[in-house]
């Protein structure tokens, strides 16, 4: 469920992105299981056809297929690399016969397909150039009575206590990232409920999806934090003051303050879920 699901990026994804998304899936797995339960309770019949829009490495695709054991999924993404990774994972999980991949840029239009019981969009809609136009197209591929589940985010996870030197540097980096997103990704943090209603859908549920892990955290969190903070550093390092950059670099340099070694490492992240129905 990461904010790195690109729906309009035709370039190969940087090294580490697929691993970051897979680690994100591992850390959010319990929260996502509850989301899938919510979808099952909202469904008016068995979910047998799914489309995952901005599928990335397949977190949603595989989670939904495990939850809805009679379903087939179409995984849509603009990245050939991501879809190749997804296909490989599907084979390893024994799900290859239940997944079809489709390379498509959602800004150019939602692919033509048979009507589905469930459309899923996790951390992908905020990348769209014209979310309202695309949401109207998404609504049209959901059967009457079917569901669209949207998981979106307002920002990146936090990993360190604010009062620590590293936490202060992390907070400053987040402030710079937030300012960038206001320009580059203006749809992030949108009132998606209003947008879904405008697309003709009826909101059935809206709630937070929260992860709050404190020390001691699972081993995967250190690697997850390092990959996430490395990407943030690449985006903001030239705008940090020298002391801020030095403090941030200690989080990734392999020393005692490296996030992979810290005893105070945490994960604090919040995303938002909307489940909406196409009227019958």
pLDDT band at residue 185 under the 50/70/90 scheme: low
**pLDDT for the residue numbered 5:** 39
pLDDT digits (tens, 9 = 90+) for 200-246: 999 999 999 999 999 889 989 999 999 999 999 999 999 999 999 99
Residue 134 and residue 87 in one domain: yes
Q: Is pLDDT above 80 for 250?
A: yes
Residue 148 and residue 53 in one domain: yes
pLDDT band at residue 15 under the 50/70/90 scheme: low
**pLDDT for the residue numbered 219:** 87
Residue 196 and residue 254 in one domain: no
- Lowest-confidence segment of 8-17, 76-85, 128-137, 193-202 by average pLDDT: 8-17
Residue 20 and residue 10 in one domain: yes
Q: pLDDT: is 190 or 157 the higher one?
A: 157
Distance, in Å, from the CA atom of 9 to the CA atom of 7, rounded to the nearest integer, reads: 6
- Taking alpha carbons only, the member of 247, 145, 250 closest to residue 201 is 145
For residues 30-36, give the mean pLDDT: 96
DSSP string, 162-192: TTSHHHHHHHHHHHHHHHHHHHH-TTTT--H
What DSSP character marks residue 216?
Answer: S
Residue 16 and residue 82 in one domain: yes
Q: Is pLDDT above 80 for 181?
A: no
Residue 90 and residue 135 in one domain: yes
Distance, in Å, from the CA atom of 1 to the CA atom of 27, rounded to the nearest integer, reads: 10
Residue 124 and residue 173 in one domain: no
**pLDDT for the residue numbered 12:** 33
CB-CB contact of 167 with 161 (8 Å): yes
CB-CB contact of 88 with 26 (8 Å): no
DSSP string, 130-152: SHHHHHHHHHHHEEEEEEEEEEE
- How far from chain centre, in Å, is Cα 183? 20
Tokens coding 136:
């109207």
Residue 116 and residue 76 in one domain: yes
Residue 143 and residue 273 in one domain: yes
- Taking alpha carbons only, the member of 255, 262, 268, 234 closest to residue 164 is 262
Q: Residue 205 in 3-state DSSP?
A: strand
- Phi, psi values for residue 153, rounded to 5°: -135, 160
**Host domain of residue 126:** 1-154+189-214+269-280
Residue 82 and residue 210 in one domain: yes
Q: Is pLDDT above 90 for 3?
A: no
Query: For every residue of the chain, which 3-state class applies, written as one string?
Result: CCCCCCCCCCCCCCCCHHHHHHHHHHHHHHHHHHHHHHHHHHCCCCCCEEEEECCCCCHHHHHHHHHCCCCEEEEEECCHHHHHHHHHHHHHHCCHHHEEEEECCHHHCCCCCCCEEEEEEECCHHHCCCHHHHHHHHHHHEEEEEEEEEEEECCCCECCCCCCHHHHHHHHHHHHHHHHHHHHCCCCCCCHHHHHHHCCCEEEEEEEEEEEECCCCCHHHHHHHHHHHHHHHHHHHHHCCHHHHHHHHCCCCCCCCCCCCCCCCCEEEEEEEEEEECCC
Q: pLDDT: is 17 or 171 the higher one?
A: 171
**pLDDT for the residue numbered 2:** 37
Q: Is pLDDT above 70 for 26?
A: yes
Residue 173 and residue 236 in one domain: yes
Number of domains within the chain: 2
Q: Is pLDDT above 80 for 187?
A: no
Residue 25 and residue 51 in one domain: yes
Give residue for tokens 């951390």.
123
pLDDT digits (tens, 9 = 90+) for 102-126: 999 999 999 999 999 999 999 999 8
């Amino acid at each position: 469920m990461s904010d790195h699901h690109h729906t309009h990026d035709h370039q190969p994804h940087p090294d580490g992105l697929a691993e970051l998304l897979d680690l994100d899936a591992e850390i959010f797995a319990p929260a996502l299981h509850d989301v899938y339960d919510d979808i099952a309770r909202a469904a008016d019949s068995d979910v047998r056809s799914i489309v995952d829009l901005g599928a990335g490495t397949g977190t949603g695709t595989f989670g939904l297929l495990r939850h809805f054991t009679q379903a087939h999924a179409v995984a849509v993404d603009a990245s050939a690399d991501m879809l190749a990774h997804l296909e490989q994972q599907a084979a390893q999980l024994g799900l290859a016969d239940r997944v079809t991949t489709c390379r498509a840029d959602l800004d150019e239009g939602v692919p033509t397909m048979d009507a589905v019981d469930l459309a899923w969009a996790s951390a992908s809609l905020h990348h769209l150039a014209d979310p309202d136009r695309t949401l109207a197209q998404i609504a049209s591929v959901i059967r009457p009575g079917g569901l669209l589940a949207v998981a979106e985010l307002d920002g990146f996870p936090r990993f360190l206590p604010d009062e620590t030197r590293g936490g202060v540097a992390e907070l400053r980096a987040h402030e710079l990232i937030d300012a960038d997103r206001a320009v580059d990704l203006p749809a992030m943090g949108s009132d998606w409920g209003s947008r879904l209603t405008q697309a003709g859908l009826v909101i059935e549920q809206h709630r937070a999806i929260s992860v709050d892990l404190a020390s001691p955290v699972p081993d995967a969190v250190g690697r997850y934090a390092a990959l996430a903070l490395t990407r943030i550093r690449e985006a903001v390092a030239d705008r940090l003051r020298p002391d801020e950059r030095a403090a941030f670099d200690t989080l990734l340099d392999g020393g005692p303050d490296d996030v992979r070694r810290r005893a105070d490492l945490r994960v604090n992240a919040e995303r938002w879920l909307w489940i909406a129905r196409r009227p019958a």
